[in-house]
Structure 1
Amino acid sequence: MAWFFLSRVAAALIALITLLVLTRLLAPEEFGRYNMIVASGTICQQLLFSWIISSITRFHSAEEFGGRVLSVSLGAIFAAVALILPVTIVGYLLIPAPMDGFFLLSAAFAISTALHEFVLAALRVEKMGRTFAVATLLRPVLATSLAAGLVLAGGSYGSAVWANVAGAMLAVSFGLPQVLKLASIARPSRSVLKSFFAFGQPLSFVRSASMLFAFSTQFILATLVNFAQVGFFSAALTLSQRSITMLMVTLGQTTAASIFEALEKEGEVRAADELRRHFEMLLLISAPLTAVMVFANDTVASIIFNDTFGPGVAPHLAILSLAAFVNGVQASYLAFSFSMNKETMKQLGLTVSIAAVHILVTYFATREYGAIGASWAILGVAILNAAIYTAYGAKMIRASQPLEPLLKVAAAIACGLPFLLLADRMNSSLNSLALICAAMVACGIALKMLGYESLDTALYGARKLLSRYSTKLAR
């Protein structure tokens, strides 16, 4: 599992470097436009292609498909791309300027992202860890390098989007041939497509919700305030989502295959045990980081962003980081209650309702309180959504026994909290960083003393890895 999770974590870290680079090369207004294109492209990718990608993970171990899930998924994804490409070309020719450029960039981002995510899902279920890691990391490394070069050469936010597209397609050109060695392309039958679509399409709408919320909020900010505030909000949202939500969702994607395999082959009790271990690790990797970004938000913003972005980002960061954590728990833990029971249509209905609430709340909060009202709206809707998921998944939650790890992590964070509160009051960034490190050490010691199982597992894995590499170096 380490290859799959750690490579995704590394990719998320590179994405944070991309954020750091672009906020230094683009003005807040241009960065806001860049993020709106990325958000709209991601939404399109989720709605048009993600149902195929989700089905690979969910049904790969299901006996009803006779081990042909990967082959028919290949046929389905290529057919979907073949249908979307001419629509994209015609749309670009018919849509008047300047929206034609926005449409083309969004469509190109959607198609390239879909192919990249498909390749990663296929490599994951076939347990090709090293190839998965390379295909995962190629995209952000190439995209960041190309974006920096193009913008420095005089390009704009559009150049940064094209760099993302190029990075994704170069990663696909590496990973896809490996997938084709594992399975041949097969034409999916109507019954297979129906099963995939019935399960995956509602889930696609659900998974696009975070980007739908982001895009609608950005649109409201651009309309009611200005594009500079879109840039500040987008920078804070990107940092919180990339460092917290993406980390949590990545862990969920990494362990989902194991959870579904346990459910299909060994039953609900074994699946609940897998969920418990997943939730413990989920809290371990996300809760301390969330605490840093909520209680030491000024320090984090001043270190990561320049003087143009930092002061504008900091007020949003604390609020959006907490929202990112709540959304991560909902997406990477609570949502399993729907997918395990194949009740994604109910999940879709809930998501549509929440989306409508989000748009209304964000509009009125922004109109009354300005840009910061949009961030408070994001947090309020996240809490509401998680509460509804908790009520629905009460049976699954009881079975996976999450209360004990929650209390232990809360106690550990309380031990580090005084250091975090002091960090923002220091005049020196070095002193602030030292206090943040002290907070993390205090949190780690507390978890160790409380016997937090996932920490012991992580430490054992780290010692084993270090021992292995030490042995290789000694040779």
Structure 2
Amino acid sequence: MAVIAAFVLNAGLNFVLGLLIAKLLGPADFGRFALATTGAIVLNTLLFEWLRLSATRFYSGRVRTDEPWIRHGLDRAYLRLGLLLAAAAAVCGGLGLGEGADGREAVLCGTGLAALGIGVFDYHAALARARFDGRLYLGLVAVKNALALVLMAGAAWFLPQPAWVLAAAGLSQFLAVVVLWSPLRDPAAAVERARMSTTWGTFARYGLPLIAANAAYQFLSFVNRGAVASHAGFEEAGYFALAADVTSRVLTTLGMALDLLLFQIAVHAEEHRGRAAAEAQVAGNAATVFALLAPCAVGFWAVLPALQAVVVPEAYRGPFETYSLALMPGLFAFAMMVYAVSPGFQIRRRTGPVIVAALVALVLNGLGLLVLPRAFGGIGVALAQTLGLAGGCLWLGWRVLTGSERLVFPWGQIGAAALACAAMGLALAPFRALPPGTALAVLVPAGMGLYGALVWIFDIAGLRGQVMTRLRPSRAVAAE
């Protein structure tokens, strides 16, 4: 539960921080900042993601003591790549000294520092999750968010250029690891250098297909934000960026929390009960992910007009809702693809098909960019993104659900969750027209209450049973 609490904390503070940075920088500079942030995420994905994914797949509490060469291999690979990235950022910073913080080299330097901080933080967070150390993970996330709020908001207030805010983002994540360095360390063990090349080879075969796919999706996002800027200017790119960031966080933050928790359970099942048990766990996880993400999408649609009026900075209102509605179906498809479908390939260590799905998404997105922006302007880019992500999800779903080694998803549970979401959407639709404050006060508890009641009555995706299983030990302890 600490992992879920950490993600809720992270999502809430990131949401507030994103709105604050958008307000302090203004649409144009926020558009540049968002474009550079996407570049930092792409850079982090290319350099470090294969190692983070390997940590979630191959590292555990048992491995921590029985197979120390796994952590040694991860640490040394991160160190070498981190030093390379830090040197590149320093070169960019040196070249841009004469142009100031608004120059291209300064932004590139900030992008590199942000990518380095993200990589270091995500790696150590993955280690804490793999050990099922929820308290350490929660502390890491809390420290990072506190530092980010102070450093990034301070940079945007006192030095309102994207380069400084990017550098502050990287520094906040790096310092969070420094603060909690002691509990993040493993017991001392001799380094077996002879195992390094074999260990890195294992990481590469598992992780490189996944990072190729992730990099493709980040590249898709980067290209689309650039396309909006080229068609309608950086101000329009700022509108697109804020809508994409907020909608993505609504649909993927919980999905990421569920995936990282549920996938570790599947890995644990494989270690103790074999591959068949792990695959059954992955199939059940898919129903759980859908049952919890689908109502988030419907609820976000219901509160979107009120959310825009109450929370979104005035300069972004109007375009924010339009872009969010156009992006939502594609981002939901992406969340399901990554957190419900891809684990079926990851548990088998056969990650090649995820690359093909990413290529399908890129091709469809590119075809959409050739046609839709000419007809619809910036909103056409959002529609092209939705087309690409939905197509990639459909292809990967077809691949995992067909053939001799197909997974059997619990379609009855998924269908029940879909019907419950439809009922919730129909019940909430009339209240969307209420004044913003009243709408939020009515829609949020009503939606949670209605969907929660349906889940409890019909035990959708087995969620009632999971809750009762967690409550029974507590009751037994209390009785004793």
Q: TM-score, normalised by structure 2?
A: 0.89
What residue in structure 2 maps to residue 425 of structure 1? 433
Structure 1 residues 324 and 468: alpha-carbon distance in aligned structure 2, compared to 1, 3 A threshold: farther
Letter matched to residue 70 of structure 1? R
Letter in 2 for 1:266: R
Compared with structure 1, are the counterparts of its residues 342 and 268 closer, same or farther at alpha carbon in structure 2 (3 Å cutoff)?
A: same
Change (3 A) 1:306 1:422: farther
| Equivalent AA in structure 2 for residue 135 of structure 1 | L
Q: Flag the 1:210–1:10 CA change in 2: closer, same or farther, 3 A.
A: farther
Q: 1:151 aligns with which of 150, 156, 161?
A: 156
Residues in 2 aligned to 1:8 and 1:468: alpha-carbon distance in whole angstroms? 29
Tell me the amino acid that sits aligned with residue 426 of structure 1: L
Query: Hey, which bits of structure 1, 4+ residues long, moved more than 4 A?
Result: 91-97, 395-398, 461-469
Contact 1:236/1:317, CA 8 A, preserved across alignment: yes
Q: Is the 8 A contact 2:21 2:153 kept in 1?
A: yes
- Structure 1 segment 69-88 matched on structure 2, within 5 A: 69-88=70-89
Q: Answer yes or no: is 1:357 the counterpart of 2:364.
A: yes
Q: How far off is 1:248 after superposition?
A: 0.4
1:294–1:319 Cα contact (<8 Å) kept: no
* Rounded Cα–Cα distance in structure 2 between residues aligned with 1:116 and 1:432: 34
Closer, same or farther: CA 122–357 of 1 in aligned 2, 3 Å:
same
Equivalent-residue separation in structure 2 for 1:78 and 1:406 (angstroms): 43
Aligned partner of 1:335 in structure 2 is 342
The code of the aligned residue for 1:119 comes to: H
1:412 counterpart residue number: 420
Distance 1:256 1:170 in 2: 28
* Structure 2 residues without counterparts, runs of 5 or longer: none
Deviates more, 1:118-127 or 1:424-433: 424-433
Q: Residue 257 and residue 447 in structure 1: after superposition, are their counterparts in 2 closer, same or farther (change >3 A)?
A: closer
* 1:44 aligned residue: 43
Which of 446, 461, 464 is the matching residue for 1:456? 464
CA distance in structure 1 between the aligned counterparts of 2:41 and 2:436, rounded to whole angstroms: 39
Match of 1:9 in 2: 8
Specify whether residues 465 and 40 from structure 1 end up closer, same or farther in structure 2 by C-alpha distance, changes over 3 A only: farther
Select which of 288, 292, 316 maps to 1:285. 292
TM-superposed CA distance for 1:39, in Å, is 0.6
Question: What corresponds to 2:125 in structure 1?
Answer: 120
2:106 is matched with which residue? 101
| Counterpart amino acid of residue 39 in structure 1 | T
Decide whether the 8 Å contact of 1:293 with 1:321 is kept in 2: no
Contact 2:291 2:461 in 1 (8 A): no
**Is the Cα contact below 8 Å between 1:423 and 1:436 reproduced in 2?**
no
Q: Deviations over 1:88-118 (max 9, x none)?
A: 3334445796321121111101111111111
Q: Equivalents in 1 of 2:25, 2:86: separation in Å?
A: 30
Query: CA 1:425 to 1:465, structure 2 compared with 1: closer, same or farther past 3 Å?
Result: farther
Distance 1:379 1:399 in 2: 26
Distance 1:94 1:160 in 2: 19
When structure 1 is superposed on structure 2, of 459-468 and 204-213 the one drifting more is 459-468
Q: Deviations over 1:183-210 (max 9, x none)?
A: 5584562222122112112211222333
Taking the aligned partners of 1:437 and 1:449, their CA distance within structure 2 comes to 18
Q: Distance in 1 between matches of 2:422 and 2:274?
A: 37
Asked if the contact 1:296/1:421 (under 8 Å) is kept, the reply is no
Which secondary structure does the structure 1 equivalent of 2:433 belong to? Answer: coil
Kept after mapping to 1: 8 A contact 2:143/2:176: yes
Q: What is the Cα deviation at residue 7 of structure 1?
A: 0.9
- Give the 3-state SS of the residue equivalent to 1:327 in structure 2: helix
Q: CA deviation at 1:294?
A: 2.5
1:188-244 Cα distance to aligned partner (Å, 9 max, x none): 622221221121122112223332222111101111111111111111111111121
Contact 2:297 2:332 in 1 (8 A): yes
Alignment partners' CA distance in 2, 1:464 and 1:124: 24
Query: What is the match of residue 59 of structure 2?
Result: 60
1:467 & 1:148 partners in 2: Cα distance? 44
CA contact 1:334–1:389 (8 Å) conserved in 2: yes
Q: Could you tell me whether the CA contact under 8 Å between 1:420 and 1:436 is conserved in 2?
A: no
Measured at CA, do residues 90 and 153 of structure 1 come closer, stay the same or move farther in structure 2, by a change above 3 Å? closer
Question: Could you tell me how far 1:390 is from its partner in structure 2?
Answer: 0.8
Query: Counterpart of 1:424 in 2: which secondary structure?
Result: helix
Matched with 1:135 is 140
Q: What is the Cα deviation at residue 417 of structure 1?
A: 1.8
Q: Which moved more, 1:119-128 or 1:214-223?
A: 119-128
With normalisation by structure 1, the TM-score equals 0.90
- Which stretch shifts more, 410-419 or 234-243? 410-419
Matched AA of 1:240: T
| Distance (whole Å) between structure 1 residues aligned to residue 351 and residue 386 of structure 2 | 24
In the superposition, relative to structure 1, how do residues 275 and 122 fare at CA in structure 2: closer, same or farther (>3 Å)? same
Query: Which stretch shows the higher mean deviation, 40-49 or 66-75?
Result: 66-75
Range with bigger deviation, 4-13 or 379-388: 4-13
The one of 433, 437, 452 equivalent to 1:444 is: 452
Residue identity in the other structure for 2:141: T
1:198 paired to 2:198: no
Q: Distance in 2 between matches of 1:144 and 1:278?
A: 33
The residue that corresponds to 1:232 in the other structure is 239
Relative to 1, partners in 2 of residues 1:370 and 1:402: Cα closer, same or farther, differing over 3 Å? farther
Deviation at 1:136, TM superposition (A): 1.7
Residue 176 (structure 2) pairs with residue 171 (structure 1): yes
Aligned residues: 468
> 2: distance between equivalents of 1:122 and 1:355?
31
Q: For 2:270 and 2:474, locate their aligned partners in 1 and report how far apart those are by CA, in whole Å.
A: 34
CA contact (8 A) 2:217 2:358 kept: no
What are the superposed Cα offsets for residues 278-312 of structure 1, whole Å, 9 maximum, x if unpaired? Answer: 22331233111100223442222222202211212
User: How far apart are the structure 2 equivalents of 1:312 and 1:466?
Assistant: 48
Verify the 8 A CA contact 1:302 1:311 in the aligned structure 2.
Answer: no
- Deviations for 1:358-388, whole angstroms, at most 9, x for unmatched residues? 2342343223211111111121111101111
Shift of 1:318: 1.9
8 A Cα contact 2:263 2:282, kept in partner: no
Q: Distance in 2 between matches of 1:465 and 1:240?
A: 37
